[in-house]
Structure 1
Amino acid sequence: MSNIVWITGASSGIGRALALRMASEGWRVAASARRAEELEKLRQEAAGEIAVYPLDTTKPDDVKNVVAKIESEMGPIATAVLCAGTYEPVLARELTAEKARPVFELNFMGTVNCLEALIAPMRAQKAGRIAVVASLAGYFGLPTSAIYGGSKAALINMAEALRPDLALDGIKLQIVNPGFVKTPLTDKNEFPMPFLMEVDDAVDALYRGLQSDRFEITFPRRFSLILRLVQMLPYRLSLALTAKTMPKQAKLTS
């Protein structure tokens, strides 16, 4: 297999830090994101090879064209890390289809577009690794993340369904479930974030996971264990616990 990795959402946050890390480790990195100027800054900062491929993953034809271009110019994609995503905190009184649609379009359908473009060539070469970045917010419904958490729960469910199927063709599918990582997305949060990680620490955990055969890559471990426990509780207990994390403004009368 080649040492070519394609990373989406590479202009900021985990995707950007992972691109720099993998380039420094000798990987040939194809980096995609919507912001071409940020990709160029990334390329210039890298200690290794990063080729930039600006892309909006919500456009399926563009995704197919970029994957074909990467494979034509660089070679077969050995690993893909699908990080492109967005976050929209929302209270019940703010919930609208208008707010939900773009989040699901990018977080879920954007990932589906990438999978569609990747699966055929990886099946042909009987090898490949795809890591889908979801979130611990997909484990259980948490206040303010009705839209974001829902999109990530959909990714987790999809990956669980696809993992055994893709394994028949030699493709390793992994799901990445981060907790709170200090990035421009989490900077939107106006509530305390338990076990908040620095992005470099998160990327260390992610990169180690990409060298493994584990289905799930999750960090920080303590937070994932707490949310797993919440999943196992009866709803009368789990919902009582999560209600305590409601932001103050949600409790104010309108």
Structure 2
Amino acid sequence: MPKKAIITGATSGIGRALAIEMHRKGYVVGATGRRTKRLESLKEKLGDRLFIQQMDVTNMDNAVSKLGELASRMGGLDIIVLNAGISNLNEGDGRGNDLRVIDVNIRGFANLAAHCYNLFEKQGHGQLVGVSSVASLFGWGQSASYNASKAFVNTYLQGYRQKANHTDADITVTNLIPGFVKSEITEGREGLFWIAPTEKAARQMLHAIESRRNTAYITHRWRIIAWLIKLSPQWIWNRM
């Protein structure tokens, strides 16, 4: 039987590319997002084995309910990829945007992550996959809430991985940490480097999922940048 995977935030970027790649590899795929027309377009492109569900992850109880409905239509759930997220780089009022980022990237993420972990524990198996960012490794004044929200993802998944090690259920917790990937978020931004094509990023993401990795940098060479960031003394970041 093909494995069943749901991807949140599948209307664009790496979420959409991963849905296409998993479908190509024979998975039963559920795609969620706020933009219904884009979900319908993806359904037209992929056809059978692709199920869609409009979802706003900030509507907590409704998101859990819709996830359950989607999983039921798919015949179950083996893998959840929590990819839905937003950036606030250089956007308007700091307070309002910070709270919006926190609602989506932290509260929306944790709500579905905790729900799916409990589901996997009850059914005896499952894989919880979160999409973080290399930005999680440092604070940045122009996108403080985004970087901090992705740091939350790292630590949250680390805690749930430890939790999974103490349960009888076969649960894998995977943290995907992309660098720059071609998407709507990176479009038009100057000074970016090592921008990976979305298709290449999706292939590496799926390989990490299938290998049941704990952590994977996407693309692989971003591990070098992560190493350099971790070695940099705090005073360097404070003076930037």
Give the TM-score normalised by the residue count of structure 2. 0.92
Asked if the contact 1:137/1:152 (under 8 Å) is kept, the reply is yes
Q: Provide the residue aligned with 1:154 in structure 2.
A: 152
* Cα distance in 2, alignment partners of residues 153 and 166 from structure 1: 20
Matched residues in 1 for 2:117 and 2:233: separation? 39
Contact 2:2 2:26 in 1 (8 A): no
Q: Which residue of 1 aligns with 2:198?
A: 199
| CA displacement 1:40-73 (0-9 Å, x = unmatched) | 0001111652111110011111122122212322
Change (3 A) 1:133 1:150: same
CA distance in structure 2 between the aligned counterparts of 1:177 and 1:119, rounded to whole angstroms:
20
Residue aligned with 1:236, SS: helix
CA distance in 2, matches of 1:197, 1:51: 27
Report the residue type matching 1:197 in the other structure.
A
CA RMSD of aligned residues (A): 1.9
**In 1: Cα distance, 2:76 partner to 2:47 partner:** 22
Task: Find the aligned partners of 2:154 and 2:32 in 1 and give their Cα distance.
Answer: 22
Q: What is the alpha-carbon distance in structure 2 between the residues aligned to residue 200 and residue 8 of structure 1?
A: 17
Structure 1 residue aligned with 2:107, among 93, 106, 109? 109
Give, in whole Å, the separation in 1 of the partners of 2:75 and 2:174.
22
Alignment partner, residue 175 of structure 2? 175
Tell me, yes or no, if the aligned pair for 1:19 and 1:31 is still in contact at 8 Å.
yes
Correspondence list, 1:206-245, <5 A: 206-239=205-238, 243=240
CA distances 1:140-187 after superposition (whole Å, capped 9, x unpaired): 123522121111011111111111102323211111110000100122
Q: Spell out the pairing of 1:41-190 with structure 2 (5 A cutoff).
A: 41-46=41-46, 48-90=48-90, 96-167=94-165, 168=167, 169-187=169-187, 189=189
Letter in 1 for 2:105: N
User: Is there any run of 5+ residues in structure 1 with no aligned partner, and where?
Assistant: 244-254
Point out where structure 2 has 5 or more consecutive residues left out of the alignment.
none
Whichever residue aligns with residue 115 of structure 1, its letter is A
Distance 1:145 1:228, change over 3 A: farther
Normalised by the length of structure 1, the TM-score is 0.87
Q: Distance in 1 between matches of 2:40 and 2:77?
A: 21
Contact 1:33 1:53 in 2 (8 A): yes
Report what 1:247 is aligned to: none
Deviation, structure 1 residue 237: 3.9
Would you identify which runs of 4 or more consecutive aligned residues in structure 1 move more than 3 Å?
237-240
Please give the alpha-carbon distance, in whole angstroms, between the structure 2 residues aligned to 1:101 and 1:188: 25
In 1, Cα distance between the equivalents of 2:64 and 2:196? 34
Preserved CA contact (<8 Å) 1:10 1:33: yes
Distance 2:95 2:232 in 1: 30
CA distance in 2, matches of 1:16, 1:133: 13
Q: CA separation in 2, counterparts of 1:95 and 1:174?
A: 34
Identity of aligned residues (%): 27
**Is contact 2:173–2:214 with CA below 8 Å preserved after alignment?**
yes
In our comparison, the structure showing a higher alpha carbon Rg is 1
- Amino acid across the alignment from 2:22: M
Tell me, in whole angstroms, the C-alpha distance in 2 between the residues paired with 1:200 and 1:227: 22
CA 1:229–1:172 in structure 2 vs 1: closer, same or farther (change >3 Å)?
A: same
Hey, what's the Cα distance between the residues in 2 that align with 1:47 and 1:159? 33
**CA apart distance, 1:117:** 2.5
